[in-house]
A = this chain, B = another copy of it.
């Protein structure tokens, strides 16, 4: 059943039927009702390919997925997908994933924009002066950044959490508990979220006349193994830190293992605060010593990104508004006053 058949059936022109269905004002309410009724009754659905060709709109949002033999997709990404689903389900909004060589994402960005494959883009885990953000801006396609980039010459719409505030508050709490030697086990520090987190830790320390010593800061891809390695190195040093702040539960897993290997009892010998992105499959309250965390759901952010992207596509949103979400500090058993 296509438009032509439907219009023939209704003895109306395709124009009128199309307009009736798309809510244009220049069609009487009565015909509109006739049309929508008939459309529903016959299960008419406009062919998206035809519509796309005519309008240039794709009705989909895009994500360029960096891949490569030595590139692993972050498990945090599924949380984003869950969130996207929370919004997109019921809105018939699809996401097209375009795998790209991590070393040359630009080609893929250009391709999907030139091809009009998607109406808007989602960009995640930005770097400083992120090229993808600059490119999307330049190409003029609507987009939303999940996270923030710094050092760009223009404003852009984003959703981010208050990483600096979260890590500041966590560190301040540790300092208030008497910790002088606080270490940070961070994620990849070319990404802005890690930069902000480091900034937060530094600020909290300096507010009490303390410093984050270079040897007390580690940054690596957020895996269990890297958490373990970093913690071993920190904790075996001469002036080992008495408290660690880390960027992911995955790393926390490794840190706990390292502490155990070194016969350190938490929180007596080591206090630990981790950031928690809210995974359903690994929860901070279920660590052998329940973890104090800075908590912010990626899933919730994903839903919001989808919502704003949809708003941008339909023209309900424009401009470069950035949202910064506050982060909860959830205190559990993994921290205590310094001995």
Instruction: Name A's B-contacting residues (CB within 8 A).
Output: 45, 47-50, 52-53, 56, 58, 60, 65, 67-69, 71-75, 77-79, 81-82, 84-86, 88-90, 92-101, 111-112, 114-117, 222-225, 228, 250, 253-254, 257, 260-261, 279-283, 286-288
Contacts and interface: CB of A to CB of B under 8 A. Distances in A.
Given A114-B45, A225-B286, A67 B50 contact: no
17 contacts: A45-B115, A47-B53, A49-B53, A49-B115, A67-B86, A73-B81, A73-B85, A75-B279, A84-B97, A89-B101, A92-B111, A95-B96, A96-B96, A222-B281, A223-B282, A224-B281, A260-B288
Contacts of A82: 67, 71-73
Contacts of A90: 101
Given A48-B116, A223-B280, A223-B281, 8 more contacts: A49-B53, A52-B52, A60-B96, A67-B86, A84-B99, A89-B100, A253-B253, A261-B288
B250 A282 contact: yes
Contacts of A50: 53
Nearest to A66: B85
Contact of A94 (B74, B79, B97, B250): B97
A75 B286 contact: no
Given A73-B81, A101-B90, A282-B250, A49 B47 contact: no
Contacts of A67: 82, 85-86, 88-89
A326 to B, nearest CB: 23
A321 to B, nearest CB: 25
Contacts of A49: 49, 52-53, 56, 58, 115-116
Contact of A47 (B98, B115, B222, B279): B115
B89 A48 contact: no
A85 B77 CA distance: 14
B286 A224 contact: yes
Contacts of A101: 89-90
Nearest to A65: B85
Contacts of A74: 78
Contacts of A225: 283, 286
Contact of A73 (B48, B78, B224, B254): B78
A34 to B, nearest CB: 24
